[in-house]
């Protein structure tokens, strides 16, 4: 994580339809973005704002309740283009990895760019940290972001379903997993001498 490129941690919150009334043409849009940029192990930038939805500008009651968000929040937000410009500027500076929890964030970003006729802003490697976590710990099921943090014995950062807080929580887990991977790579098997010493210790306890 040195000068070979930045790590960009992203979390989006999306619009959602009412359960019983899903319009035929409905698709989720980004309505809040949280970004943490890390270089050399240090946070060098954060970006957080509400985003005005383009195709379905009115939020549903379900969406407002679930995300604790208001119509005024998104009406006063930035445009998708402003967020896209920020991502493009990051990409131009050099991004090693874009890290998200789950694959939905990049899918919706890609879909939105396609619908708006603009280029996808990133050329980096994508990391779905939830799958890395699953592989690393051998979990049968995909773990939720905040459950993963609690399994690590920590609390999440800030408030769940706030984009910047979730992006920062993703960053914390990434560094914890990377640290554990390095530890496992360096861990050496116990020698015969260690085992003999341990057996003496156990005998003393018997």
Residues involved in catalysis: 13, 161
Q: Are 48 and 20 in contact (CB under 8 A)?
A: no
72-104 exposure pattern, b = at least 16 Cβ within 10 A, e = fewer: ebbeebbebeebbebbeebbeeebbbbbbbbee
With H, G, I as helix, E, B as strand and everything else as coil, classify residue 6. strand
Can you tell me which residue has the tokens 């490129």?
Answer: 5
CA distance 128 to 142: 11
Nearest to 173 by CA among 143, 205, 199: 143
**Backbone torsions φ then ψ of 187, nearest 5 degrees:** -60, 130
The token duo for 84 is 């896209």
Q: Cα–Cα distance between 127 and 140 in angstroms, integer?
A: 19
DSSP state of 140: S
């Amino acid at each position: 994580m040195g000068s070979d490129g930045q790590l960009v941690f992203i979390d989006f919150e999306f619009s959602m339809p009412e359960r019983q009334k899903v319009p035929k043409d409905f698709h989720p849009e980004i309505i809040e973005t949280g970004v943490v940029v890390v270089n050399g192990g240090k946070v060098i930038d954060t970006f957080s704002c509400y985003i005005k939805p383009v195709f379905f500008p009115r939020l549903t009651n379900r969406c407002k309740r679930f995300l604790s968000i208001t119509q005024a929040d998104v009406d006063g937000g930035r445009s998708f283009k402003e967020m896209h410009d920020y991502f493009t500027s990051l990409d131009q500076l050099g991004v090693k990895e874009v890290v998200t929890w789950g694959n939905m964030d990049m899918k919706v970003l890609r879909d939105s760019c396609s619908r708006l006729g603009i280029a996808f802003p990133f050329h980096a490697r994508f990391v779905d940290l939830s799958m890395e976590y699953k592989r690393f710990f051998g979990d049968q099921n995909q773990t939720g972001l905040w459950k993963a943090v609690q399994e690590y014995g920590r609390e999440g950062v800030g408030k769940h379903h706030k984009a910047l807080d979730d992006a920062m929580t993703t960053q914390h887990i990434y560094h914890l997993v990377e640290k554990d991977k390095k530890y496992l790579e360096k861990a050496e098997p116990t020698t015969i001498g260690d085992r003999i010493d341990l057996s003496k210790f156990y005998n003393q306890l018997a």
